[in-house]
Structure formats: structure tokens, C-alpha cells
Amino acid sequence: MNAKLNFASPSSTLTVATAALATVIAIGILWAVVTLFQSRGAPMELLAAAERACAEHAYQSERVACMNEWLAASQPRTIARR
């Protein structure tokens, strides 16, 4: 009962293919996260500036309303031309 386990070593082609697949998956996940962050709402620097501008409000509802007003005022206004 002296059995030895004989594991076959994986070929280098399989290792390279696995590493390439892992790289593609990682880049895909990173791209999806970046796209979601860029497509949702105001940039973080504007949100941080609005939060600093409205820090004197004690209640969360007042602070959120102030931040929304501040963000709306900071957006450029374009007027449609005929």
C-alpha cells in the first residue's frame, strides 16, 4: 500500500491561456466599474464641494436639499437657439 500520487504538470500553453483569460476578465470588471462611476450623477469633486458648502446645516434633509440646490446652480445652463 505504498501508492504515490502522480499529478501531471499542466502544460505551459494551458497556463498562458488561463492567465490571459484571467487578465481579460479583470480588465472587463475594471472597465464596468469605471463606466458605472462615470455614468452616475455628478463627479465626486462637485459632490465634495457641495458638501463643504452645506456643512452648516444640522439636519440631513436640509443638507441634502442645500446640496441639490448647490449642484443645480453649478451646472452650466444652455439656451436653445432657433
Range of 17's domain? 12-41
Q: Does residue 59 sit in the same domain as residue 69?
A: yes
pLDDT in tens, 21-80: 999 999 999 999 888 877 766 677 888 889 999 999 899 999 999 999 998 888 777 676
Separation of alpha carbons 32 and 25, rounded Å? 11
Q: How far apart are CA 79 and CA 41, in angstroms?
A: 22
Specify the pLDDT at position 81.
64
Residues 16 and 50 in one domain: no
The pLDDT of residue 37 is 78
Number of domains composing the chain: 2
Instruction: Report yes or no: 50 and 71 within 8 Å, Cβ to Cβ.
Output: yes
